[in-house]
Structure 1
């Protein structure tokens, strides 16, 4: 079978069978796309459910009984794509992202929600970026639609920061966390990919139409469904496997207990991608899902872009540890700090008394107290030493000078 025939067969299968079909995926891997198309059209060697679904799609498309269904559907899809300013990519094309092939490992036959998780037959794209290259360094940022101010701030900061670091931000184009992360990436001058659960010609949700149009001009819009397809609830869950599979890791910013974002994180775990979660207030309903996921083994807590990059990046891309503000006494060695702790604030005491309180020798106290005085930590008096009245912050500034 030539690459063109393989491509046409995959395009036709993408129109005739709902994305993710495990049965179709197994068939294509065993006999090839062209033979699989012959079998699903003829209804032999496949389940009655798949055969019936294909026949219904063929009748709707008006190709029932067509002598060459693949050529007819592929030609029609090409015309759709040209009219919409889109293009179609299959596994037979160089632009195909190899990471999506890992979806064969995500299926869980006993779980109805995780049974049909196979790689897409074809993808509809709109935007100037090359898909495979764009997804090589990519992170999914997902979360609640009913985002709080806290979640919106985090999603925007993460989107912007990841873009600045040269990472592609992938999300679902939905309200809330998704679109906020997309906008953050665009504002940061980076790449972003919106994975849709409807046709490439549908701006869903309508409230995000302007943002989706901007992504289609500067980034990439991506979907498995042909033009005209409406978004359904189950299609969002199917779409989530692509978001997780296409990226190196998934960050969940905010999520309720039943949030669809949790399914994306679940796919990330199944595919051995990094599963990252942002903690939130323990009394916030929009962080309940996050805290449930944080209790799962292997989940990584992240609060900064640097921590995300450390998790999904190359060896050596480490986040700088968070440290508290420096204090003047941090420059002291352990012995000096111990002696300083024994000096009283208002009443002067002798070096020997300070040594006894600190549990050090009189010799160590007598040697270090003049140095502590020179640094401004203590002042001397006729009857010993007491703490300086100068504020510690000011002491630090004087010590540096």
Structure 2
């Protein structure tokens, strides 16, 4: 790799450049560098997208930048990795205008930092912030993600998992929240469908081009997402998914929303990768418990047991975490009300002192309840009026309603 010898007159200034020039530069960079490349991210942050593109295309970098990057790696690897990286950038350059035209012809739009539709929460990703995003759909990405929750989980989900994901997404949609997920089989697909059923926008973050349908069986789902929400991609139209790209896109899923809910996940799962990103970004992390005999819930249980995620079982509990402080509190969970819940302590003790079978006199009941006789008689009168007890020849006994 040669140091950058470009003169100051040849170097385009980062400020005051036409937006279209920066847009084209970022389109080019999305082909040249892999999404989430921190070295390219630092180069753009220091020198702007236009100059970064010029440097990468020529295979040269500013000397001071090279020196700082080499200090980041062990001495034994200094230079080698960076040289290979820059060489690969230059080799992958393609005409950005053609990519931009292809995307627009397919119905996609390209947004970059500073655009009205750019979600500023992506800036939390720092050096790994997307260079730009391809969007395909009717919904506005930034506005949709102002109140959003990510729902992720296993592809090989159980009926329990897909039901929970769909119901949570639908309830969130009913409450005015957007659902973000990855468009995959299992939990992702169920979450998108639940949001769509509620008539709410949903965001599908793909590991391929915005015009590529993967998985192919989700063609109808993606069509519905585009009609009601938006499909998001960091890759040039026509790009196909790879295993690494699925992991890379998970950071965007976590960054776009206020919190992430893991519905089902095995101990080794891509959903746990999203959970790690959410924690690293200081987003709320939640997990749904499942049967302890189901391996596909083992990852959720580990997150809860290790204190990394909050256990949630209802949408109210999710919104309490991600919503406005003090305004979105979940109501306390209570069991079904019972008739004797309204009884005071003395009356309850008198009621408990009556034998389950047979009868007892008021004096025996008073002794067993630990109250005086007058109090026992007063309580027995109230209990009889309420239908809890009845008086007979042999004393007081429980009524049929109390026995049930």
Structure-2-length-normalised TM-score? 0.88
Determine the C-alpha separation between the residues in 2 that align with 1:80 and 1:335.
80
Query: For residue 11 of structure 1, what is the aligned residue in structure 2?
Result: 27
Query: Do 1:40 and 1:50's aligned partners in 2 also have CA atoms closer than 8 Å?
Result: no
Counterpart in 1 of 2:88?
53
3-state SS, counterpart of residue 294 of structure 1:
helix
Q: Which residue of 1 aligns with 2:105?
A: 83
The 5-angstrom pairing of residues 320-335 of structure 1 reads 320-335=331-346
Separation (CA, whole Å) in 2 of partners of 1:293 and 1:249 = 15
Q: Residue in 1 aligned with 2:124?
A: 102
**In structure 2, distance between residues paired with 1:17 and 1:299:** 33
Q: How does 1:355-366 map to 2 (within 5 A)?
A: 355-366=366-377
Structure 1 residue aligned with 2:172: 162
Q: What is aligned with 2:401?
A: 390
Q: Which residue of 1 aligns with 2:230?
A: 220
What SS is found at the alignment partner of 1:222? strand
Aligned partners of 1:336 and 1:53: how far apart in 2? 82
Mapping 1:143-292, distance limit 5 Å? 143-292=153-302
Aligned residues: 368
- Is residue 23 of structure 1 aligned with residue 28 of structure 2? no
User: 350, 358, 368: which one pairs with 2:361?
Assistant: 350
- Which residue does 1:378 correspond to in 2? 389
Of the structure 1 ranges 331-340 and 238-247, higher mean CA displacement relative to structure 2 is found in: 331-340
How far apart, CA to CA, are the structure 2 residues paired with 1:305 and 1:130?
24
Counterpart-to-counterpart distance in 2, 1:176 and 1:298: 23
For residues 387 and 149 of structure 2, the distance between their equivalents in structure 1, rounded to whole angstroms, comes to: 50
Give me the whole-angstrom Cα distance separating, in 1, the residues matched to 2:254 and 2:43. Answer: 24
How much does 1:355 deviate? 1.1
Tell me how large the CA RMSD over aligned residues is.
1.4
